[in-house]
Amino acid sequence: MIKVENLWVELNGNLILEDISLEIKKGEIVAIVGPNGGGKTTLIRTILGFIKPTKGRVLIDGKEPKDYIKSGKVGYLPQKSSYERDFPVSALDVVMFGLVEVKISKKEKEKKALEVLRYVGMESFKDKPFGKLSGGQQQRVMIARAIISEPELLILDEPSTGVDVVAQESFYEFIKKLNQEKGITVLMITHDIGAVGSFVHKVVGLNKKLHYFGDFKDFLQKSNVDKLYGSEVKLLIHSPECFTCQYFNVEVKRH
């Protein structure tokens, strides 16, 4: 679905991405991981067509990003800091913003917004001011806005930032549900490597260069983590059986 070919991106004279090539198949959930400043957000913004490559290209279903996005088949959830949480609008209004360029009546937009709020478990909060919702509730409303146009591709930039562990786990379960029930391809930036390991299909290990692209299990090999983060990193790895979690050094152990 997404093909990145020999991608180089330079911004303000600084080389941000160097010779990135990868291919993401339709229906996959793919996590982009790596240290801060490694180019993760630049990569997804280039995939979205917001940044023009210095060299190389990105294709989505064989089309240039801007042409594909015009079809309304992409849902995008930016970092929390990218939207104003205290803007005086209801949860329903926020979701309806996702249809601002769709030429249907306000009544039809409201109907669709109520449907997706119901799907994400937030229908009872439709009239509540967005700024009064908890972090996890705001997150679900923003996901509802991202999927109201029934996208084939959902792109998430650090979606679990600022929410508690319970809300984070609930959110990731919902992403799995979206993928399984609607077949949506999901590409997300995350620092929660252990939390997403049980359901992602592929991992992109990015730090200016592509250091790893493949299965999560193989990513946990010490050499792969070392190349991406350095030798002192600690990872918290979850498994379905774990009741107590603890940190392990880079020679990763699973429990």
Per the domain annotation, does 243 fall within a domain? no
For residue 130, the model assigns a pLDDT of 92
Calculate mean pLDDT across residues 148-177.
Answer: 84
In this structure, what CATH number is given to the domain that contains residue 223?
A: 3.40.50.300
Structural contact between residues 57 and 46, judged by C-beta atoms closer than 8 angstroms: no
How many distinct structural domains can be found in the chain?
1
Per the domain annotation, does 49 fall within a domain? yes
SS3 76: strand
Per the domain annotation, does 96 fall within a domain? no
Average pLDDT, the chain: 86
d(CA 104, CA 196): 37
Per the domain annotation, does 38 fall within a domain? yes
Buried b (16+ CB within 10 A) or exposed e, 39-62: bbbbbbbbbbbebebeebebbbee
pTM: 0.83
What is the token pair recorded at 114? 């109520």
What is the token pair recorded at 250? 């880079």
Report the amino acid identity of residue 121: G
For residue 93, pLDDT over 50 is answered with: yes
| Summary count for the chain: helices (H), strands (E) | 9, 11
For residue 253, the model assigns a pLDDT of 41
Positive or negative torsion for Cα 16, 3, 145, 105: positive
Across-strand partners of 235?
A: 248
For residue 247, the model assigns a pLDDT of 39
Per the domain annotation, does 252 fall within a domain? no
Residue 37 contacts by C-beta under 8 Å, 6 or more apart in sequence? none
Per the domain annotation, does 235 fall within a domain? no
Q: Residue 12: which domain range?
A: 1-73+154-165+184-230
d(CA 68, CA 52): 15
For residue 23, pLDDT over 70 is answered with: yes
Structural contact between residues 254 and 216, judged by C-beta atoms closer than 8 angstroms: no
Convert the pLDDT of each residue in 5-21 to its tens digit. 999 999 999 999 999 99
Give the residue, 203 or 136, on which the prediction is more confident: 203
Structural contact between residues 50 and 43, judged by C-beta atoms closer than 8 angstroms: no
Convert the pLDDT of each residue in 165-214 to its tens digit. 777 788 888 889 889 998 999 999 998 877 788 889 999 999 999 999 99
Convert the pLDDT of each residue in 35-72 to its tens digit. 999 999 999 999 999 999 999 999 999 999 999 988 88
How does strand 55-60 pair with strand 29-33?
unpaired
Report the amino acid identity of residue 56: G
For residue 249, the model assigns a pLDDT of 42
Give the residue, 254 or 238, on which the prediction is more confident: 238
Give the residue, 170 or 105, on which the prediction is more confident: 105
For residue 61, the model assigns a pLDDT of 95
What is the token pair recorded at 231? 């030798």
Give the residue, 199 or 243, on which the prediction is more confident: 199
Per the domain annotation, does 84 fall within a domain? no
Convert the pLDDT of each residue in 209-242 to its tens digit. 999 999 988 988 878 888 888 766 666 555 544 4
Per the domain annotation, does 65 fall within a domain? yes
Secondary structure of 51-72 as H, E, C letters: CCCCEEEEEECCECHHHHHCCC
For residue 254, the model assigns a pLDDT of 38
